[in-house]
Structure 1
Amino acid sequence: MKQYNIDLAALSLRAALGIMFLAHGFTKLFVFTPAGTAAYFESLGFPAFMGYLTILFEIGGGLFLLLGILTQIVAILTVIQMIVITYIHSANGWSFSNTGGGWEYPAFMALTALALVFLGNGRFSVLKLIKR
């Protein structure tokens, strides 16, 4: 029973983080547009190509998390990404509803991803189903 609960926890976190990533990636793709996202990244002092890579990572990583593919690798990359975003938003205060967005949301996402680093896929993943 305990392992089953751990597997459900991994599935729940993978689904939550995966759906969140898909939502953010598709927003960057369809609302802000790739060029707009790249310009925003440049305004933050990052190279424009990082905007394009972020769109790919959020959509691809979101799909991988939902399916349970390379979960720990995607989660480690997510922790790194969210730590950077937490730092960027740290000047805006704690609450993400503050002007410019605070650091509470990306810090929470970093910790959620860190939990997945430790949990891994769990049994409810495409890879586990294929092996059966």
Structure 2
Amino acid sequence: MIDQARPVVLLLSRVAVGVIFLVHGYQKFVTMGLAGTAEFFESAGIPLAGLAAPAVAALEVAGGLALVLGAGLPVAGTLLALDMLGAIVFVHGGNGLTGDGGYEFVLALAAASLAVGFTGGGALALDGALARRRAAQPATA
């Protein structure tokens, strides 16, 4: 029973975490705009805020999409976890774990990114499909 549910559970987990990152990246591009995001980053003490804003926005959109599709999961999961570590260090860490502006949600996203990134994505992930395709090809000398 668990083996049959595993691909669906991994898919749902990837999509949930990926959509959260997609939306947050989209907000940085569109809702706040890159200038507004850079201004916020600067006020939070993030170094090179003008470069960090588009880089973080792009990472969150591309990384979120990678999680949804199940492609490049270890890289995407690691980069998104590092993104969330930066959010803890520069924005949420001083607010404590829980409460207004706390880092509990950001920490959960970092942990989920790593967990999803290193599960292999399951049978319903592009990474899994590519691995099965490579395994099915005859070896060449």
TM-score, normalization by structure 1: 0.86
Measure, in 1, the Cα distance between the counterparts of 2:81 and 2:4.
Answer: 25
Structure 2 regions of 5+ residues with no counterpart? 137-141
> 1:117: Cα distance to partner?
3.0
> 1:128: Cα distance to partner?
4.1
1:24-78 deviation digits (Å, cap 9, x = unpaired): 0111111100111112212222212011101101111111111111012100111
Query: Which residue, out of 52, 55, 65, partners 2:54?
Result: 52
Aligned equivalent of 1:32: 32
Whether 1:93 and 2:107 are equivalent positions in the alignment is no
CA contact (8 A) 1:19 1:62 kept: yes
CA RMSD across the alignment: 1.9
- SS state of the match for residue 116, structure 1? helix
CA contact (8 A) 1:82 1:110 kept: yes
Measure, in 2, the Cα distance between the counterparts of 1:42 and 1:4.
Answer: 48
Aligned equivalent of 1:66: 68
CA contact (8 A) 1:6 1:119 kept: no
Measure, in 2, the Cα distance between the counterparts of 1:17 and 1:121.
Answer: 13
Aligned CA distance change for structure 1 residues 86 and 4 (closer, same or farther; 3 Å): farther
TM-score, normalization by structure 2: 0.81
Measure, in 1, the Cα distance between the counterparts of 2:122 and 2:67.
Answer: 11
Q: Which runs of 4+ in 1 moved over 6 A?
A: none
Size of the aligned set, in residue pairs, is: 129
Amino-acid identity (%) = 30
Aligned CA distance change for structure 1 residues 107 and 56 (closer, same or farther; 3 Å): same
Aligned equivalent of 1:103: 103
Q: Which amino acid in 2 is paired with 1:81?
A: D
Measure, in 2, the Cα distance between the counterparts of 1:13 and 1:94.
Answer: 23
Bigger mean CA deviation after superposition, 86-95 or 23-32:
86-95
Structure 1 regions of 5+ residues with no counterpart? none
Structure label with greater radius of gyration: 2
